Chain A
Amino acid sequence: MKIAVDVLLALAVGIALLSSIGVAAMRDPYQRLHFITPPASLSGLCVLLALFLGETQKQAGAKAALIVFLLYFMNSVVTHATARAHFVREKGTWPPPEPIELVHE
């Protein structure tokens, strides 16, 4: 069981590290925004599973589940708000006045 906990923690840290490096490597805010989600969803889930497997405290599981739930669902709201803020700063209006043209290759 301890090996499973260690593997899950290593996975969570690896995902978070790669995502933060991705935030630094990308060019514009739309690309960077994609890298908030993996730590909030996958890393959070891995930490939660590790807590349930190696749980030694009574209240830990419930509180950790609440925190991971909050991170998962609030992250999408904040990501949308940030993307909208960037769009308004670039284009000056929200919602877009005309349908956004798709690029056909």
Chain B
Amino acid sequence: MNAWILAAAGFALCLVPCAFVALRAPNVVDRLVALETAAVCESLALLVLAEGFQRTIFFDLALALALLSFGGGLVFARFLERWL
């Protein structure tokens, strides 16, 4: 257990309030905001996990999550704007 893995655990802890909002918020846009916050926190968690485990390949996971959460957020926002 080193500081990097502890930091990853801290970033994972950020998911709890986001999950609470995503599950309980009355407005669907509130849920989308919680999802976007969770995606940012998890990208950072994967980043520090890669350094903590000394595995360069994990950086690609963080990169893929950052890119896909960006695309997903945009698609969700456009979908909510037009059809829901």
Q: Range of interface residues on chain A?
A: 35 or more
Residue of A6, A20, A28, A51 with most chain B CB atoms under a 10 A cut-off:
A20
Instruction: Please provide the chain B residues from 8 to 64 with a CB less than 8 Å away from any CB of chain A in the complex.
Output: 10-11, 13-18, 20-21, 27, 29-30, 32-34, 36-38, 40-41, 43-44, 47-48, 50-51, 54, 56, 59-60, 62-63
Residues of A within 8 A of B13 (CB): 17
**Which residue of A5, A20, A59, A85 contacts B29 across the interface (Cβ within 8 Å)?**
A85
A47 B3 Cβ-Cβ under 8 A: no
A20 / chain B contacts, CB cutoff of 8 Å: 14-18, 37-38, 41
Pick from B21, B37, B56, B81: contact of A88, CB below 8 A. B81
Structural contact, B29 and A70, CB atoms closer than 8 A:
no
Tell me if B44 and A39 are in contact (CB < 8 A): yes
Give Cα A36 to B77, complex, Å: 15
Would you give the 0/1 interface string for A29-63, flagging 1 where the beta carbon is closer than 8 Å to chain B?
10011011001100110010001001011011001
Which residues does chain A contribute within 8 Å of B63, judged by CB atoms?
Answer: 63, 66-67, 70
Contact indicator B59/A9 (Cβ below 8 Å): no
Interface centre among B17, B21, B78 (most CB of A within 10 A): B17
Which of A35, A54, A67 is within 8 Å of B59, CB to CB?
A: A67
Residue interface bits A11-36, CB-to-B below 8 A is 1, else 0: 01100110111011000110011011
Q: List 6 A-B contacts (CB under 8 A).
A: A16-B44, A29-B33, A36-B33, A39-B44, A54-B51, A78-B73
